[in-house]
Amino acid sequence: MSTTTGEPAGGPDTTGGTGAPSAATAGAAAPTGAATGVTEAEAGPGRVEEKRVTWAELYFDLVFVFAITQVSGLLHHHHDWVGVARALVVFVPVYWCWVGTTVQANIRDVDTPKGRIGILAVGLAGLFMALAVPAAYEGRGLLLGAGYWAARVVLLLVLIRIPGVWRGPYGVGVLVSGPLLLAGGLLPEGPRTALWALAAACDLSAPLIFRSRLARVAYHPSHMPERFALFLLVALGESIVGIGATAAAARLDAVELAAVALAFTISCGLWWQYFVHAADAMRHAVTVADSRRDMIRRIFQYGHLALVAAVIAVAVGFGETVADPRQSLGPGSVALLYGGCGLYLLTFGYTRWMMFRAMSTTRIVAAAVVLALVPVMVRLPAIVVLAVLAVVLVVLNVVEHVRVERAVAAAAASASSPAAAGSVAPAGSAPAGAVAAAAAGAEANDGAAGADRPAAE
């Protein structure tokens, strides 16, 4: 398996460029994983070599660009609470199909003819699923279930040589959730939704149920954060589509252009929150964690499900607001836009706690403000709804930028002090940990306190 400490084959490192030590600099010594039989416990934190994203994985992602667009379309046509629940039930297997492919690409060498064919085969199954999404609760439910089950079968087959792979999440996909989705496709809408929700619950709980078995897996710490960052970038791209597709059919007068600018500012604010403030910290947390398995499950597999779902909700909300910015919005549209943004910010509170056992006060407060404004925004014109949300995100990013700069300066001053000069800091500790904690949006008061936590947990 090829290794690198530079730019990934698929393009620039999307996890950011400051503060997060690479696996090589964190003490990488020898490749580990399924191919070598070295477990994570034997390797220790930071010893798995860097792994590059392959072109096949990036091409595979294009299928899920289309899939996210399809899920957004389903939510656009039915964005009451029932519609949100139904869209989520459909989105979970789509997302979990991508997650399963990403995990297997992380633990084995997929930059081979066999590996590429496996990824492309899952991509075809994912394309069938995406085609089924708009009519999943009508005449294409069986196609959705068949596509998902086929994807899980392919993933199991490419990992079949790993002992006990049947008794884990991949086996659950083939033996439990896949058949449930297939059976649901044959039932009327009510029972179908219930069976699909059960299938989603089985998939999401499998990593927890088989936690001890997954301890044998050695993950590549640089590859996983980059893959999930790219998937979030795909979702953010859908927010741009939500703005542009609606605006393209409008008159584009001054008010409508202002609405486009405000919606784009909101999208930029969401991007900034992740790729400027959080991405480096996530990569650092995985690199130095004693249990990469647990860290990856918590902040990537689960945390990014909420992040991507939130961005999809915001994207659909954009379409509603840009369409007629002079009119007030219904409760459903405001709930999607503000609720999605609130969920996005609250999820960072969750991931920061999982990484550093510290509160992300600024984001939690901002999320509370956004959610509290929902009843008021229902009565106001869409252009005002966009403007208020844009202001909240801009202020939040400015405040966090100032706090991060102060935390980094304090960490640098501490590292250059006479006391620090006489000691050698271990890999993964301050100041790298302080920079990563600050990049996560640390408060000025808790940034230094949380700096060493990733290495200790």
Q: What is the mean pLDDT of each run of 10 residues along the chain (457 residues)?
A: 35 34 33 35 47 94 97 92 95 97 93 96 98 96 97 92 75 94 95 97 92 76 94 96 90 93 98 95 89 90 97 94 89 95 97 92 97 96 97 97 88 72 45 49 38 32
| 280 and 300 co-located in one domain | yes
Q: Could you tell me if 267 and 351 lie in one domain? A: yes
Does a structural domain hold residue 12? no
pLDDT for 168 equals: 82
**Domain co-membership, 135 together with 232:** no
CA dist., res. 125 & res. 412, Å (int):
50
User: Residue 381's beta-bridge partner residues?
Assistant: 328
Q: At 23, is the secondary structure helix, strand, or coil?
A: coil
For residue 404, the SS3 value is: helix
Q: How many residues does the chain have?
A: 457
Q: Find the domain containing 159 and state its range.
A: 42-214
Residues 264, 150: one domain? no
Write out the two tokens for 331.
């409760």
Is position 22 within any domain?
A: no
pLDDT at 412: 84
As given in the structure block, the two tokens for residue 123 are 């991509």
The answer to whether residue 254 sits within a structural domain is yes
Residue 5 lies in a domain: no
CA–CA distance, 397 with 124 (Å, rounded to integer): 39
Which pLDDT belongs to residue 418?
A: 63
Residues 6 or more apart in contact with residue 369 via CB below 8 angstroms:
392
Q: Give the pLDDT score at 250.
A: 83
Could you tell me if 267 and 247 are in contact, meaning their C-beta atoms sit under 8 angstroms apart? no
pLDDT of 292: 85
Structure tokens, 84: 């949100």
Q: How far apart are CA 425 and CA 421, in angstroms?
A: 10
pLDDT at 30: 30
Task: Provide the pLDDT for residue 212.
Answer: 74
| Within a domain: 55 | yes
In the listed set 214, 234, 263, which residue is the last one of a domain according to the structure? 214
pLDDT score of 385: 97
Assess contact for 38 and 212: CB atoms under 8 A: no
Structural domain ending residue among the three candidates 189, 214, 239: 214
The CA distance from 226 to 436, in Å, is 16
Map tokens 């808790």 to a residue. 446
- Count the domains in the chain: 2
Burial of 283 (0-12, 13-18, 19+ CB in 10 A): buried
> Does residue 303 share a domain with residue 277?
yes
Report pLDDT for 298.
93
Q: What is the reported pLDDT for 19?
A: 35
Identify the CA nearest to 430 among candidates 440, 422, 420. 420
- Statement to judge: residues 327 and 399 lie in one domain: yes
Query: Is there a single domain that holds both residue 177 and residue 319?
Result: no
Q: Same domain, yes or no, for 115 and 203? A: yes
- Whether 143 is covered by a domain: the verdict is yes
In a domain, 446, yes or no: yes
State whether 294 and 368 are in the same domain: yes
Q: Is the same domain home to 369 and 444?
A: yes
The last residue of one of the domains, among 179, 214, 249, is: 214
Q: Is the separation of the CB atoms in 230 and 106 below 8 Å?
A: no
Q: Looking at the domain assignment, is residue 263 inside a domain? A: yes
| Same-domain pairing of 244 and 329 | yes
Match 């008010």 to its residue by tokens.
255
CA dihedral for 214, 226, 21, 444, sign (positive or negative): negative
Residue 248 and residue 179 share a domain: no
